[in-house]
Amino acid sequence: MNSTGIAHRFSPRMLVVFFGVLLAALTLSTLAISPAHADEINTDKYDYVLTGNAQFDGEPLDGVLITVTGGGYEAEVKTGVDGKWKIGVPEKGTYKVILDEETLPEGVVVTKGGAELTAEFGLTKVKSVNFFLGEGVRTTVPFFDQFLSQFVNGLNFGLLLALAAIGLSLIFGTTGLSNFAHSEMITFGALMTLAFSGLGLPIWLAIILAIVLSGALGWGLDATIWKPLRRKGVGLVQLMIVSIGLSLAMRYTYQYFIGGSTSQLPGAGQADLKFGAVRISPIDLASMGISIVVLLAVSYFLLRTRLGKATRAVSDNPSLASASGIDVDGVIRIVWIVGGALAGLSGVLWAYFRPGVSWDMGFQILLLVFAAVTLGGLGTAFGALIGSIIVGLFVELSTLWIPSDMKYVGALVVLILVLLLRPQGILGRKERIG
């Protein structure tokens, strides 16, 4: 990733401001409800605590980012002004403790043992983990190599976004619905894969079953909610708000059943293969391959089959399509099934890309999917494909210049800029936007 240039440091002036704020916070904290401790997390929630102290030459280092992962649990914390950090963990297990070298001051690196340590609890409930920090220069990866590997990452991300975006765009094109519950259809695919693989089924079978069920979910949602509402003649804005309510209800139903933790699908986190400068895991390769094959199949369906042509006709002008003898309701049903299955597959691939399955994973990319669809032109399937790849590339490549916790900001800003310059999107037609 980006090892040069943008490392986060405190300049002396920023430090003064920081301490000023801190001092103000301390003196005023009689009124504050919960004074936030920057250097402790979940220590009051869990009994087991990992702790450490980031020091260099006897000087404490603050703002160093420490991440703990293990057993589906993940937490991160920044060291306090005294250089100390504490992270509570749910059980007595083995955890990976990672120090983000980007957050170390310039000229300081982890000298021995690496920036990633494994911690195991002994007899006590507190385990201290310390990194060996010393003087040194971080080895930097040449810019072009970083660019290339982020490009491949972005392509992978864009392709998986495209799977969800095409479904969303087809549904919008045929029914006019901006489906905010699409994110929950994405999550559904990943959740079902997790459930089936948890039952002991091989992963390929689990994924296929999950996609079939996702298609069924799409059909079910259309049959129980959207079709009756269309019959009732409910307005488009109303439908959109209904989809928001549905999204909220489904999302928290997922959380009700699986809780707030992140679980990994089998095979996630495999070692990278090297192709020249590009490091890529077998899972990523498979993910890109599957996306491309499925996208080609969808294109073939839309361009060459009778049903696909009917779908495009309905998307173009529903009443005309209906008058030409096309079964509009049938087409919409197919679109929901295909859209659900594509969203489910996209969810599985997203679970491997993040990596991890969590209750709100779909919602995390919903806006990017919407951005992709809008970029390409609302309601055009191939526009959604192009828009997704642009968004995917943009999100991953932007981390070369901006901090990675702001990578989604770039994509959303581009969305607003495109609407300013070419509101109909890349492939959209002007009359759609009026």
367: CB partners within 8 A, 6+ apart = 408, 412
- Min dist. Cβ of residue 37 to another protein (A): 8
Task: Tell me if 409 contacts another protein by CB under 8 A.
Answer: yes
Q: Considering beta carbons, is residue 51 or 178 the nearer one to another protein?
A: 178
Asked if residues 236 and 172 have their Cβ atoms less than 8 Å apart, the reply is no
Q: Which of 1, 3, 4, 21 touches another protein (CB under 8 A)?
A: 21
Q: Considering beta carbons, is residue 136 or 228 the nearer one to another protein?
A: 228
Q: In the stretch 88-117, what mask flags binding to another protein with x, by CB under 8 A?
A: ---------------x--------------
Asked if residues 162 and 302 have their Cβ atoms less than 8 Å apart, the reply is no
- Min dist. Cβ of residue 38 to another protein (A): 6
Taking the mean position of all CA atoms in its chain, how far away is CA 284?
15
- Min dist. Cβ of residue 205 to another protein (A): 30
Asked if residues 100 and 84 have their Cβ atoms less than 8 Å apart, the reply is no
Three-point CA angle 255, 260, 263, nearest 5°: 105
- Min dist. Cβ of residue 3 to another protein (A): 17
**Radius of gyration of the chain from its Cα atoms, rounded to whole angstroms:** 25
Name which of residues 171 to 210 contact another protein (CB under 8 A). 178
DSSP for 175-233 reads H----TTHHHHHHHHHHHHHHHHHTT--HHHHHHHHHHHHHHHHHHHIIIIIHHHHHHT
- Min dist. Cβ of residue 167 to another protein (A): 17
Q: Considering beta carbons, is residue 355 or 410 the nearer one to another protein?
A: 410
Task: Tell me if 423 contacts another protein by CB under 8 A.
Answer: yes
Task: Tell me if 370 contacts another protein by CB under 8 A.
Answer: yes
Task: Tell me if 405 contacts another protein by CB under 8 A.
Answer: yes
Give the separation between CA 350 and CA 161, rounded to whole angstroms: 8
Give the separation between CA 318 and CA 433, rounded to whole angstroms: 17
Task: Tell me if 10 contacts another protein by CB under 8 A.
Answer: yes
Q: What are phi and psi of 274, to 5 degrees?
A: -110, 125
Q: What are phi and psi of 27, to 5 degrees?
A: -70, -30
Name which of residues 24 to 63 contact another protein (CB under 8 A). 24-29, 31-36, 38, 63
Name which of residues 251 to 310 contact another protein (CB under 8 A). 251-253, 255-256, 259
- Min dist. Cβ of residue 332 to another protein (A): 19
Residues β-bridged to residue 66: 77, 99
Name which of residues 209 to 248 contact another protein (CB under 8 A). 229, 232, 234-238, 240-242, 244-248
Name which of residues 374 to 393 contact another protein (CB under 8 A). 374, 378
Asked if residues 376 and 242 have their Cβ atoms less than 8 Å apart, the reply is no
Q: Considering beta carbons, is residue 3 or 238 the nearer one to another protein?
A: 238
Taking the mean position of all CA atoms in its chain, how far away is CA 45?
27
Amino acid at 327: D
Size of the site for another protein (CB under 8 A): 70
- Min dist. Cβ of residue 35 to another protein (A): 6
Q: Is the dihedral of CA 154, 157, 160, 166 positive or negative?
A: negative
Stretch that binds another protein, among 325-333, 347-355, 368-376, 382-390 (CB under 8 A): 368-376
User: Which tokens go with 46?
Assistant: 């869990």
Give the separation between CA 156 and CA 102, rounded to whole angstroms: 25
Stretch that binds another protein, among 111-119, 146-154, 324-332, 404-412 (CB under 8 A): 404-412
User: Which residues lie near another protein (CB under 8 A)?
Assistant: 8, 10, 14-15, 17-18, 21, 24-29, 31-36, 38, 63, 65, 78, 103, 178, 229, 232, 234-238, 240-242, 244-253, 255-256, 259, 363, 367, 370-371, 374, 378, 403, 405-406, 408-409, 412-413, 415-417, 419-420, 423, 432-434
